[in-house]
Amino acid sequence: MKVCSLYGAGFYYIPGTDICMKVGGYVRFQQSYGQSFNVTSGPFGGNNGFNRENSGDYSYRSRAIATFDTRQQTAYGTLRTYLILGFTQDSNPDGAPFGTLYATRAFIQIAGFTFGKATSFFDFTSSAAVAYNAGHLYTSDTGDGGHIVAAYTAQFGNGMSATLSVEQDRRRGTDYLGAAIAGGGGGQVLGADLAGATRLQDVVANLRVDQAWGSAQIGAAVRPMSASYYGAGNQAGLVEWNGQPGEEYGFAVMAGLRLNAPMIGPGDYFQADFRYTEGAMQYASNTPNSALISQGQTVAQVIHNDGGFTGTAAAPGSFERTTAWGVFASYEHFWTPSLRTSLYGSYLNISRGDGLNNAMCASGLYNPATVGNTRATGCDLDSSQWNIGSRSQWNITKDLYVGVDFIYHKVNTATYNAAGTATLTAGALAGKAASASYTTGDVDAFVTTWRIHRDIVP
């Protein structure tokens, strides 16, 4: 095959065409040990009980990735297509394996346009660049899994650019919470967010600068908080003729900064971003979501939703948004060209006004055993989560590295009543007794992960 030097090392002409292609990929194995509660599981989901029946003391992951990058000169500039195909097999705590085939990138770029599965243009920092447990960090980063976009980027020169993008909706759920705020509920309709099936589009915009000193970005997103129908307390009762509340919109704003620090070490850099959201929870935390987590007799819960509504068509109630804000920061230092260490951390705060908090508490949607509770009776579904970690990596060759990552998690729980107890319903957590009283409290976990990774490049 003939070497193509237009786009850097590793490109070759596809025989009989003027298209240049680069084929690459990697193979990776990693193992984690520690009480790694799964912060990505849904309410009452994920086996998060630390006991002899069910624990998260270890896990394994094996992953193989293939990449295909093609480029061609046209009258409209470079036409690029990019594809990532992968296979991942994980082990859960009891050792049962499962595997997944997937494509995390599949996009076309030409003349400033990007169409397909890439990354969200709301994103700025890269958590996977500094952490092996990136999926447990509270960031907006869609990097590893990808995100469907249709975008145009305008270049203004001197590293300045602006992007307008229509993107796959980021939805955490707009819950129907029953007929009244003050009590009685009847809103036990978990999973009845019918509007979630439509996957409406978000509008994202950013303004960015990339120069020798680093980069910076400000961005915003607006998304429709379309609600489900008023209901009668169960999913079967949610029908079109019940009517629905008026339209609401969620939004998110962000600011990010990256500073290169060659004066400390060649390759050193600092990165950070801040996000504030209302009715757009997934922009505050893209990967970890709602979870019910237990350690012994202590149970912690966090609820990630976009908001909720109450009432009937004849007597509409409230329609309110959940507020969330988060921050992520990291610093990476190169001790030598082949040895590096990063320090990273993230924080997420979730809060709700009295109307939404009371409606969620009274409905019993997230804990059916507590129907009728309000702030006045000690129910407070606000929560916060944070973690801090460090990863050290040795590049044995330019294509092979090994490393170790340490991360500490902390969950400050929501509470259901002044007594500080939580009654679990059947199936809430594997190995936990239904209808038994557990203490509501904060939980934490420490996880160690090591990895070996080989890049396959031309």
pLDDT recorded at residue 38: 47
Strand, coil or helix: 203: strand
Contact between 7 and 20 under an 8 Å Cβ cutoff? The reply is: yes
The pLDDT value recorded for residue 434 is 67
The per-residue pLDDT for 43 is 30
CA distance 280 to 323: 8
Give residue 265's identity as a one-letter amino acid code: G
pLDDT for 94: 46
Overall pTM surpassing 0.85 (yes/no) = yes
The residue type of 393 is Q
In the numeric block, the tokens 């599949």 are attached to 106
Write out residues in the chain with pLDDT < 70, as ranges. Answer: 35-56, 92-98, 179-200, 232-239, 368-369, 424-435, 458
How many helices, marked H, and strands, marked E, lie in the chain? 2, 25
Within 10 Å of residue 168's Cβ, how many Cβ atoms? 17
State phi, psi for 360 to the nearest 5 degrees.
-65, -45
What pLDDT score does 56 carry? 58
Tokens in use for 226?
A: 């379309």
Q: What is the pLDDT of residue 361?
A: 86
What's the confidence (pLDDT) of residue 39?
A: 41
At 143, the amino acid letter reads G
Neighbour count for residue 435 (Cβ, 10 Å): 9
Percentage of the residues of the chain whose pLDDT score is greater than 70: 83
Going from the C-alpha of 169 to that of each of 45, 116, 150, 202, 308, the distances in angstroms are 23, 14, 12, 5, 17
**Residue 397 neighbours by CB under 8 Å, 6+ apart:** none
Predicted pLDDT at 458: 65
Distances from the Cα of 99 to the Cα of 46, 78, 278, 396, angstroms: 18, 36, 36, 29
The pLDDT score that the predictor gives to residue 45 is: 32
